[in-house]
Copies of this chain bind each other. A is one copy, B any other.
């Protein structure tokens, strides 16, 4: 019997307790031992829970219990999760977390402590919810050099964009629907501003390229400026607009990492990933493109990924899984201005296309029905984003109003 503690009894935490209870037989068959929930840490009371006798409000009950070998952190946020996780690792306990904010902010440090203490720090559930991605990347693709990762990493924004694309809803209307259906939180900023996706691509980039990438180093744009007009121009260009987290290894060894809405060509495997689903493409030098698809959030999908990590910790109580990256200083990341991309531009004014051709060189005008007078949209060739910004300024100075600009995803 291996004793575990669960810190947090919210959506994911209660799911973890539920799966450890309902799937006891299957887990025993795989592990050959019983996993026993000894403590559940939560400040709230759950008198109706079948595990009511296990609840505690005191972290000391966990940290001081030598029998507890694995601690699950599903509180979310950094305080007190960061402090608690660090102390658990230092006390020789393996830790499993679903907390992307924690891993993105402190992953390198926590992995270093885990290495030093010869315990495990696992976080499969922090990216893609129930979709296996951390373990496949670190184990199945170990014989690959990763060239690129691109994914739809946030279900809330993907749901909103899908409603805009398929049902012609406005952004605000789709957001309200997402909130009603429980796909978006009352304060949706972390999702719609791209921060959640940013944390996830940081974790994947750190894992793939061996150096911690901090969210502050990553140019992050959300989807709040996307309009139905943009959605329709994208369609006319054979694309859908998706919020993409993307990291690419350049020839000089540096990486190009970004979170932004992008035009995704209909032929891309990512274009068909709709509603609240997530999809992640990993391009390995040997495998080519491998895509993982599924529900990126939700109680039981996420909890089942946490429990799989718990089982792995229990199997490796005396050995460490190889999951590690070094700290990073951001110097291996190119600036947004250096990042090469083609751009979609929607603009208003007279003679926009001929002005744009003078400034940008060859462009592709997007023809669509029902374009308002004076409005036009085009796609530039690939160029460094900094160069694009300078040229866009020239276009503005020529008396053109730029209504929106969106990257063309090379996906």
Given the known A-B contacts A308-B139, A315-B322, are A130 and B19 also in contact in the complex, defined by CB atoms under 8 Å? no
Q: Does A301 contact B (CB under 8 A)?
A: yes
Closest Cβ neighbor of A312 among chain B residues: B139
Contact check, B290 vs A140: say whether CB atoms are below 8 A apart: no
Tell me how many chains of this kind the complex includes.
2
One digit per residue, 1 when the CB lies within 8 angstroms of any chain B CB and 0 when it does not, for chain A 111-151 equals 00000000000001000001110011001111111000000
Contact check, A142 vs B311: say whether CB atoms are below 8 A apart: yes
Given the known A-B contacts A136-B135, A269-B272, A269-B293, are A142 and B288 also in contact in the complex, defined by CB atoms under 8 Å? no
* Cβ-neighbour of A139 out of B23, B29, B135, B294 (below 8 A): B135
* Cβ-neighbour of A141 out of B144, B290, B292, B304 (below 8 A): B304
- What count of chain A residues pass the 8 Å CB interface test? 49
Question: In whole Å, how far is A240's beta carbon from the nearest beta carbon of chain B?
Answer: 13
Contact check, B295 vs A292: say whether CB atoms are below 8 A apart: no
Contact check, B143 vs A307: say whether CB atoms are below 8 A apart: yes
- Give residues 302-316 of A contacting B (CB, 8 Å): 303-305, 307-308, 311-312, 315
Contact check, A308 vs B143: say whether CB atoms are below 8 A apart: yes
- Give residues 326-376 of A contacting B (CB, 8 Å): none
Question: In whole Å, how far is A152's beta carbon from the nearest beta carbon of chain B?
Answer: 13
Q: How far is the CA of A141 from the CA of B128 in the complex (A)?
A: 13
- Kindly list chain B residues whose C-beta atoms are within 8 Å of the C-beta of A305: 140, 143, 287
Contact check, B143 vs A19: say whether CB atoms are below 8 A apart: yes
Closest Cβ neighbor of A319 among chain B residues: B319
List the interface of chain A (C-beta within 8 A of B).
19, 23, 26-27, 29-32, 124, 130-132, 135-136, 139-145, 210, 269, 272, 284-295, 298, 300-301, 303-305, 307-308, 311-312, 315, 319, 322
A-B pairs, 7 with minimum CB distance: A132-B140, A286-B304, A143-B307, A130-B287, A290-B294, A132-B136, A291-B293
Can you list 28 contacts pairing A with B, beta carbon distance less than 8 Å? Answer: A23-B145, A27-B142, A124-B140, A130-B284, A130-B286, A130-B287, A130-B288, A132-B132, A132-B140, A132-B290, A135-B139, A139-B312, A140-B305, A140-B308, A141-B308, A143-B305, A143-B311, A144-B304, A272-B272, A286-B301, A287-B301, A287-B304, A288-B298, A289-B295, A290-B292, A290-B294, A291-B291, A292-B292
